[in-house]
Copies of this chain bind each other. A is one copy, B any other.
Amino acid sequence: MKFVAHIDVMPQKEILDPQGKAVQLGLHNLGVQAVSDVRIGKHITVALEAASESEANAQVEEACRKLLANLIMEDYSFRLEQV
């Protein structure tokens, strides 16, 4: 079975996000005033083959924990889409 995993890696709530702050200021300066609490992380798409959805789940979990997310500062979430 072939899957595509859509993974989001975001800075944890308690962590300051200076990049997000800068973008928020930029949006205000460009006239988009109503925005607040801008946070910026990574969006990663991965194609993978696995025997079952639970195996695919386990592989994506492993990839996130081993490489994609820094669990000290970041949280990850993902959804699998069968293709």
Contact = CB atoms under 8 A, between A and B. Distances in A.
A27 B62 CA distance: 10
Contacts of A49: 34
Interface in A11-31: 20, 23, 26-27, 30
B37 A67 contact: no
B47 A63 contact: no
Contact of A43 (B10, B36, B37): B10
Interface of A: 8-10, 20, 23, 26-27, 30, 32, 34-50, 59, 62-63, 66-68
16 contacts: A9-B43, A23-B67, A27-B63, A27-B66, A27-B67, A30-B66, A32-B59, A32-B62, A36-B46, A37-B46, A39-B44, A39-B45, A40-B42, A41-B44, A41-B45, A42-B42
